[in-house]
Structure 1
């Protein structure tokens, strides 16, 4: 029997995205593991009278494409995906968590090819956030759970808890953090391997509470483009663009990445950062505030919501935060500030007032 929580999630998405009989809804699905969510969503929007189209956006052949296609082919956005996005007034992407299995290490010019592919995906993403009411749903899979030695049921339960949370109550609890970012001038992130300062004066703190990303739970802003200085280390393993990165360290000066180091993935990281002019800068600073999501997974989309984490996104800024940085890249990279995390616990403060202090959440109402 299908888990009834999928139907609850579909109704939540359709309500939040204001689906009506006049809506044109596109649904992207990347793997069979996400089909229960897709089927429930198709039913939910059809019952509201909306037109709906579903596109299978498979990722399994991306390694073959990276090996076979030239840079121009890789940088060309998928025409069916682009057409679907241009047709839509509402869009939902259901993205199953897929661990990278293909060995791409022998591909000639892999970093440049990977950056070209991200450019193509960035065109479609820009059409999504500029032209539709949208949501992206990150669906856990048994395979991913096995890779990180966590029971699949644990990941699925946290997924639903973080997607079907009490969003009205959360908005009330999290708003003071957003207000502090709006009214603040500077954020500092410090730990044994990190010392980073980000200017935020004049930018806006925005809540992400169940509307666009599921699971959800973050407060974000857009740092001043030339006011990010110092270094930050993202200890441990993270997955992005089908690649594995370990112990990634970024050095910043006057807002730009000036040095990249990593135990694994440094060359690929440098190529992604060189995607375009805007990808050298931080488009987003986010603070995870969800107490429903606790398990560190290595998946950036999930981990950035965990209470006690912080993340930077290189590249495109959210205009609602007052950001102006433009790029085809939006790469969220998450640092765990909790006690016991790789690299040890750390501190994030807004104008000297801690939100997370030495791995413990100390902001009133969050812990």
Structure 2
């Protein structure tokens, strides 16, 4: 039996859909039509007005091949109009396998245009992004589609009220933290978080969900971090990314693959500053997929986002870019809040491993 209606009901509830609510719905491929359709029906049942746009990624690829630079960097006018019209926005983003080769410079222009739409979404709507796995993505990373789909539903249809209570407690404990350190055989990064607010993410803004996050002091990030393996951002394949920081700014960036894209992306105003430090807390997420929206929720991972800060955390950095990059510490890395280890030599400690079943 389909579980999409169950997820649709959750989305409508957390976004407070009721009589007269204007709801913008995006689909990034026709493969997510079942998920979107279940949500549209739920909105109608609650008296809302849904409007659906197919923002298909295959057309984004056509733009990369044929559009001028000016057109490529222009935010989609109908997408912007939707964000200005809607009370609520829900985007169903299918996991579409990207092409083998892509022009990193042109992709960075396109991402800047999409960033303007993202900013309007943040500013004007209650919103949720849903990252929907696909058989093609499962095959690409060498896992079972059945297993990946089961993991998706286990991590989206969770006991979110219990998660929220536990993550509220964790954020209160982290609130006094001055310095966070990420350490591994290839990483030694220090982030000053003094006075910044930690916030929980428990099933409202992103699905799959489950993390706590803050905004480091803008000039308070120093050291070196390496992200081994391969991941994708906006269709660009990036392998072996390394970043050096001094006084909060990326001073050098290197990658085995995708280096041109990274360099161009960092030229976006505000993109060299860390806007977010996040810690994955979802125990149902275990498979590292290379997709950042899923991987950042995995218990045992930590992530930084270059670019736009969360204002509710006290962050001041403004940018069209918000680029989450995930570091998996389960292979031996450590995460410390001041002198308190949260992850120690690859082991998640009780301070971070919470009981999400309690009520």
Aligned match of 1:30 = 28
Distance 1:176 1:196 in 2: 25
Partner SS for 1:60: helix
Partner SS for 1:280: coil
Distance 2:129 2:118 in 1: 11
Partner SS for 1:189: strand
Distance 1:222 1:182 in 2: 12
Distance 1:177 1:238 in 2: 29
Distance 2:123 2:350 in 1: 33
Aligned counterpart for 1:289 among listed residues 257, 266, 281: 281
Aligned match of 2:111 = 118
Distance 1:347 1:116 in 2: 36
> How far did residue 103 of structure 1 move?
2.7
2:346 aligned with 1:359: yes
Partner SS for 1:279: coil
Distance 2:157 2:62 in 1: 37
Aligned match of 2:315 = 323
Alignment of 1:191-210 (within 5 A): 191-210=184-203
Aligned match of 1:39 = 37
> How far did residue 275 of structure 1 move?
1.4
2:290 aligned with 1:303: no
Aligned counterpart for 2:337 among listed residues 350, 354, 364: 350
Distance 1:58 1:365 in 2: 38
Q: Is the 8 A contact 1:208 1:216 kept in 2?
A: yes
Aligned counterpart for 1:71 among listed residues 69, 75, 94: 69
> How far did residue 102 of structure 1 move?
5.1
Q: Is the 8 A contact 1:174 1:366 kept in 2?
A: no
Distance 1:180 1:193 in 2: 28
> How far did residue 365 of structure 1 move?
6.1
Aligned match of 1:174 = 167
Partner SS for 1:177: helix
> How far did residue 361 of structure 1 move?
0.4
Q: Is the 8 A contact 1:178 1:206 kept in 2?
A: yes
> How far did residue 22 of structure 1 move?
2.0
2:229 aligned with 1:236: yes
What is the RMSD computed on CA atoms of the aligned residues?
Answer: 1.2
**How does the TM-score come out when normalised to structure 2?**
0.96
Aligned match of 1:265 = 258
Question: Where do 5+ consecutive residues of structure 1 fail to align?
Answer: 105-109, 340-344
Q: Is the 8 A contact 2:105 2:260 kept in 1?
A: no
2:221 aligned with 1:220: no
Render the CA deviation track for 1:80-101: whole Å, top value 9, x for unaligned. Answer: 1111111100000000111112
After superposing on structure 2, the runs of 4+ consecutive aligned residues of structure 1 that deviate more than 4 Å are none
Question: Where do 5+ consecutive residues of structure 2 fail to align?
Answer: 355-359
**How does the TM-score come out when normalised to structure 1?**
0.94
